[in-house]
Every structure is written in C-alpha cells, then in structure tokens.
Amino acid sequence: MTTSDTTTSVPDNNPGPVYATSTNFRFPQPEPYTGVRDGFLCEIWLTAMVRFFVGARITEDQRTLHAVIFLKGDAALWWDGHLLQDSAPWSSFVDAFRAAFRPAGFLDQVRNMLFDIKMTSTVSDYVARVRKYMSILCPNDMNLEARQTLEEATVACFLKGAPKDLRQVLLTYQLNNPQRTTIHDLCSVAEQFDQIWNYAALPSSSSVGSAALSYTVASATANSSSAMEIDNINLRYEINALRRQLQHSGSKLPRLSPEERAHLQRINGCYKCRQPGHRHYECPTKIKGVNHITTEGASSARQGKAPSDRV
C-alpha cells in the first residue's frame, strides 16, 4: 500500500476496515451515521469526523462533502432532502445535523444528569460518566469563565455523589493541594486509589449503614506505606466481624434489611420472629417474653431483690 494524502482501500481478499493514510500516521475512517436520534451518538460522531478531518488534512471548504459521504440510511435521506448543499460551510452542517438528530433539551438533560450524579456501580463507570457529560457541556470554544464555573459545580457534585470513604480520600487530596483542583484531577485521584481499594457504591436505600460504605482490599503494592494501610484495614475487618458475631450470638435476631422488611410486609410477616401469619404487635414470642420478665420481676420483688441488684 502506497503512502499518500488520499483515501486508499484494502484489497478484496482482506475484509479488514478501510483506512485513510497520511504522510505521518495511519488511522481508520469514522463509522457511517445511520440517522439514530441520540444526543450522545450525535456528538460522538461529530467529534470523530473532526479528528478525521485533521488527520486526513481535509480543508475547511471540503469538510461538509466528506461528512456527507459518511451518512447512511435515514441520515443520507435526510441530507438529500435538505436545503443545504454539499458545498455548505461545516458550521452550517453541524447546526443542521444537531437539529435533526439531537433531541430538544439535550444539553439541559445532560446538565441535570451531571448535577444529580451518584456512584451506582464502580469507580471507573462513575468517572467515565462524569467525563462524558463534561465533554459535551464544555466544548473547546467555550468561554473560560463559564468553563471554570461549570467545573467548580461539577467538583461539588462529584464529591457529593461519591461514597463516604472515597469522598474522604478526595477531600484529603484537596486539603493537601491548596491550589485549584479540577474535576479531571479528582477523577485521576479516584482511579489511582481504586486500584488499592474497591470502593462500594451507595445503596439505593435512604438509610446508609457503615457496612455498605466499607471497602475491600483489591491488591497490595510494594510500597511500604500502602502495605501498612492494608494491614490496618484487615485488622479493622477482623474487629468488625467479631463485633457482629458477639451481637448476633444472643437471642436477639439481627437487624432487618430494607429488602427483608419489604418481604415480610408482602407475606404479612412478623418483624420480631420472622414468621408469616401475624404482625409484630401480635407476636407470641414478644408476649411470652413480656410475661416472663414480669413474673421474674415479681418473684425478685418478693425475695427483696431487684433484677438490677443481681446484675
């Protein structure tokens, strides 16, 4: 294959992708756009086209024509019926393309998703969503003051939606770095620390327990300070496990989770003994326990001893 500034094709016996080549590097062509009305896919395709133009050295007056070549299906029919011509400016094509395939109010929707963001799975997914929303809301030609304002709001939302343990790490990083901390800095810090600790996502329930916010050791590093931190975490886990074992060793059943409470409500079950057929205020176990305590207290009173005295 010869190296030139034009688009070359792969031989028929090789079913691989078609590549465009330049004198400096070799890169694949963008995928055709089929006319899906999706704001994220629309912006991703436009970004891929701009990179293709820069890499293939497409001049400004030829960009619309090259973009039309990569329209397929409903998108190609849309352009054939449009008033713009293939020689239209690239900015006019972008405006018409977004009006056709990006839903109305898309930017407001993305802004609301960014401001209400919460970590629901992994740190990598959480960081990827933040970066995706920021790339759409902060184009390259955005005003510098507006960009800084949006980044400061995003930092606050990123900290608010993170789990408690991850939030403490990020706040500590901010205190140790008095200079302005960007959202990209916090995302990098979160990814680095997640290599040591697998941070757990916030539970869907409004009542958040400490166990749901705890993290587990993912891997140990050769760094001595990291190894010491991991040893402290293992010791803390052993203590918490022993504490739970002591709490559950008595006659009192462990605390109900929201899912167990909802299941008992559906089967008309009891919160005290976990058995169906009656409610907690009708539980025979509770009534028996009250009578037993009353009888024991009365017997102790007759003997001149109170339960507190025996303790």
- What pLDDT, on a 0 to 100 scale, did the predictor assign at position 37? 93
In a domain, 210, yes or no: yes
- The stretch 55-68 carries a mean pLDDT of 91
Same domain for 91 and 140? no
Using the 3D structure, point to which of 57, 75, 103 is the last residue of a domain. Answer: 103
75 and 137: one domain? Answer: no
- Does residue 86 lie in a domain region? yes
Task: Specify if 227 maps to a domain.
Answer: no
pLDDT in tens, 236-278: 555 455 555 544 444 456 677 777 777 777 777 787 777 777 7
Whether residue 134 sits in one domain with residue 68? no
Any domain includes 250: no
Residues 192 and 113 in one domain: yes
Q: What is the mean pLDDT of the chain?
A: 73
Q: Do 113 and 98 have their domain in common? A: no
Residue 199, pLDDT above cutoff 90: no
How many domains is the chain built from? 3
Residue 7 in contact with residue 22, Cβ under 8 Å?
no
Tell me how far CA of residue 230 lies from CA of 216, 224, 238, in angstroms.
9, 10, 13
Are 92 and 116 within one domain? Answer: no
CATH of the domain at 149: 1.10.1200.30
Domain ends where: 103, 123, 158? 103
Averaged over 275-285, what is the pLDDT? 74
pLDDT at 309: 39
| pLDDT tens for each residue of 85-140 | 999 999 999 999 999 999 989 999 999 999 999 999 999 999 999 998 988 888 87
How does DSSP classify residue 217?
Answer: E
- Let me know whether 69 and 134 are in one domain: no
**Per-residue pLDDT at 42 exceeds 50:** yes
Confidence of residue 289 (pLDDT cuts 50, 70, 90): very low
Q: How confident is the model at residue 72 (pLDDT cuts 50, 70, 90)?
A: very high
Q: What is the span of the domain harbouring residue 42?
A: 19-103
Flag whether 80 is in a domain.
yes
Q: For residue 273, what pLDDT is reported?
A: 75
Share of the chain above pLDDT 70, in %: 66
What is the pLDDT, as a whole number, of residue 271?
A: 74
Residue with the bigger pLDDT between 72 and 305: it is 72
| Domain final residue, candidates 219, 254, 273 | 219
Q: What is the Cα–Cα distance from 198 to 218, expressed in whole angstroms?
A: 6
Query: Does residue 140 form part of some domain?
Result: yes
111 and 99 share a domain? no
Report if residue 257 sits inside a domain: no
CB 117 within 8 A of CB 161: yes
Indicate whether 164 belongs to any domain. yes
Residue count (the chain): 311
